[in-house]
């Protein structure tokens, strides 16, 4: 069976889901000279793209406008246009349910929307992080049922995990190798061809399940190591040892070690979520995933540890947490991005509210709290200005995100006490750190 794109100089590619993963990928494919049709259920995103505007901070509007001018990129709400395309790449969210179980409803919903329009010799690639078997079982079942076609025989199906690192200028989409695995070897070959023609380096693995497992390994590796250093932070605190000094010393070893850093908890759309996709699937096979579950317990406990440290810092200064004015410094899940998905700042905010604190936040990348699935109660709250006069009114500043360029000395001098979860105040004068900064 052929792939319709094989004989074409210019491909027609659809990207479903125009968020932090889909939009950069769509622009990379368009830069390579192919025509890209973005498909999304959000009319605001579709309208922004067709107007040449960006809604993601690290994606330049000029890039979108340029692709619109050359005719290589457009967006639509009309999923029936999927039949026009040589390949369709699915980049939709895969969150967890309230019970910490995989929620693949967006994958299945996408399958239902494009399924009736899938045609013979088309290539479908899933990029959403998920458990092994999603592509060749769950998504395949929906597509086959609605298209009356057979995957691997009539159309091609593959998986290629997204590997975006928002806000990291060192690694753009074009610089990050793509792992691909197909339902059949031929499906894998055609997916490899798609990404190669989009200007990407491709690493082919044996199956879609192998590709799905690759992404899980990458993020479980990070989750476990972050949990380890978070646990060591608590141990070393009791011993009067600074974990940041230890990590910085250890990373001078040129082999056998790589640094991971402690923090107030895990954030983002990958590390707090993806490991649990494997723990859930492993139970189907009667296998316990103790490392993953222990890492999850440690990382999800960090916000409570931070609040305890804040309570102690206030108590040492004769102030109760109840009724205290607390400023969260940073709402995004990582430095220099506007992405608040799964940010530990929200867990901290809720814990502080429960204890009667009056909470505000400052984040230059997040001027207004967006609506999220789990923390809708904070939507619409605005970032306060970071001035000496404002800071003087706060009993404590809690540094959650170490954005570049924030005036940490101003914060430390004016807030009653600064609780630092990111070592953002590490370069301040020693006397100021000793008098006004507490590490957490």
Q: What's the CA gap between 214 and 387, in Å, rounded?
A: 46
Burial of 299 (0-12, 13-18, 19+ CB in 10 A): buried
Q: How far apart are the first and last CA of the chain?
A: 59
pLDDT of residue 168: 75
Six-digit token string for 408: 């940490």
Contact 303, 237 (CB under 8 A): no
pLDDT of residue 167: 72
The CATH number of the domain covering residues in 12-206:
3.40.50.720
Residues in CB range of 339: below 8 A, 6 or more apart: 20, 166, 167, 268, 269, 332, 333
Mean pLDDT in consecutive groups of 10 residues from the start of the chain, 440 residues: 92 96 96 97 97 92 95 97 98 88 95 98 97 97 98 98 81 90 98 97 98 96 95 96 96 96 85 86 92 92 96 96 98 93 94 97 96 85 96 98 96 98 96 95
Q: What share of the chain is helix, strand, coil (3-state, %, to 5)?
A: 40, 15, 45
Lookup result for tokens 């020693």: 430
What is the rounded distance in angstroms from the CA atom of residue 105 to the CA atom of residue 98? 14
Q: Are 156 and 122 in contact (CB under 8 A)?
A: yes
What pLDDT shows up at residue 134?
A: 97
- What pLDDT does 58 receive? 85
Residue partners of 121: CB distance under 8 A and separation at least 6? 1, 2, 3, 4, 154, 155, 156
Alpha helix (H) ranges present in 285-367? 290-316, 344-354
The DSSP string of 260-272 is ----SS--SSSTT
CB atoms within 10 A of CB 119: 14
The continuous run of DSSP H or E covering 182 comes out as strand 178-182
- Cα separation, 259 vs 238, whole angstroms: 22
Asked if 3 and 190 count as a contact pair (C-beta separation under 8 A), the reply is yes
Q: Determine the pLDDT at residue 270.
A: 74
Cα–Cα distance between 234 and 254 in angstroms, integer? 26
91 is catalytic: no
CATH 3.40.50.720 residue window(s) in the chain: 12-206, 221-439
Beta-ladder partners of 180: 204
Residue 255, CB half-sphere, CA atoms under 13 Å: how many?
0
Nearest to 95 by CA among 237, 276, 283: 276
Alpha helices (runs of H) in 120-168, residue ranges in sequence order: 140-147
DSSP helix/strand/coil, 123: strand
Please give the Cα distance from 125 to 248 (Å, whole number): 41
pLDDT of residue 130: 96
Distance CA 8, CA 190 (A): 13
pLDDT given for residue 353 in this prediction: 96
Q: How far is CA 262 from the centre of its chain?
A: 18
pLDDT value of residue 224: 95
Token pair of 143, please? 């597509």
Q: How far apart are CA 343 and CA 332, in angstroms?
A: 6
Q: What is the pLDDT of residue 335?
A: 93
Helix (H, G, I), strand (E, B) or coil at 437: strand
What is the model's pLDDT at position 290? Answer: 93
Check residue 329 and give its pLDDT. 98
Query: Which CATH number does 221-439 carry?
Result: 3.40.50.720
DSSP, res 164:
-
Half-sphere exposure of 138 (CA within 13 A, CB side): 19
């Amino acid at each position: 069976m052929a792939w319709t794109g094989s004989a074409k100089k210019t491909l027609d590619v659809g990207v479903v889901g125009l968020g932090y993963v889909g939009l950069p990928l769509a622009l990379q494919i368009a830069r390579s000279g192919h025509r890209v049709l973005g498909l999304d259920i959000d009319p605001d995103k579709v309208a922004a793209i067709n107007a040449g505007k960006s809604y993601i901070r690290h994606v330049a509007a000029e890039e979108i406008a340029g692709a619109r001018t050359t005719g290589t990129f457009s967006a639509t709400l009309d999923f029936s246009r999927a039949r026009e395309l040589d390949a369709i790449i699915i980049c939709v969210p895969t969150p967890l349910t309230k019970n910490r179980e995989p929620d693949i409803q967006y994958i299945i919903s996408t399958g239902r929307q494009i399924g009736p329009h899938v045609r013979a010799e088309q290539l479908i690639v899933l990029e959403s992080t998920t458990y092994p078997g999603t592509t060749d079982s769950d998504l395949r079942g929906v597509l086959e049922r609605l298209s009356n076609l057979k995957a691997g025989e009539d159309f091609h199906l593959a998986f290629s995990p997204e590997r975006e690192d928002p806000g990291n200028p060192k690694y753009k989409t074009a610089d990050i190798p793509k792992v691909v695995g197909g339902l059949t070897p031929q499906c894998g070959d055609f997916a490899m061809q798609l990404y190669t023609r989009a200007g990407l380096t491709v690493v082919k693995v044996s199956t879609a399940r192998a590709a799905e497992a690759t992404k899980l390994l990458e993020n479980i590796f990070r989750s476990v190591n972050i949990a380890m250093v978070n646990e060591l932070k608590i141990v070393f605190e009791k011993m009067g040892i600074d974990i940041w000094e230890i990590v910085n010393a250890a990373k001078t070893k040129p082999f056998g070690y790589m640094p991971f850093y402690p923090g107030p908890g895990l954030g983002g759309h990958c590390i707090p979520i993806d490991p649990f996709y494997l723990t859930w699937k492993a139970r189907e096979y009667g296998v316990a995933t103790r490392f993953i579950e222990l890492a999850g317990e440690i990382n999800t406990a960090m916000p409570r540890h931070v609040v305890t440290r804040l309570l102690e810092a206030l108590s040492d200064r004769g102030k109760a947490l109840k009724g205290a004015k607390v400023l969260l410094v940073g709402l995004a899940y990582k430095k220099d991005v506007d992405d608040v998905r799964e940010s530990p700042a929200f867990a901290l905010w809720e814990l502080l509210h429960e204890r009667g604190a009056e909470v505000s936040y400052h984040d230059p990348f997040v001027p207004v709290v967006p609506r999220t699935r789990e923390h809708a109660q904070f939507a619409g709250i605005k970032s306060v200005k970071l001035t000496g006069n404002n800071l003087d009114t706060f009993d404590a500043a809690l540094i959650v995100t170490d954005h570049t360029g924030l005036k940490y000395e101003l914060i430390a001098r004016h807030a009653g006490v600064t609780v630092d979860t990111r070592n953002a105040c590490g370069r301040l004068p020693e006397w100021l750190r000793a008098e006004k900064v507490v590490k957490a």
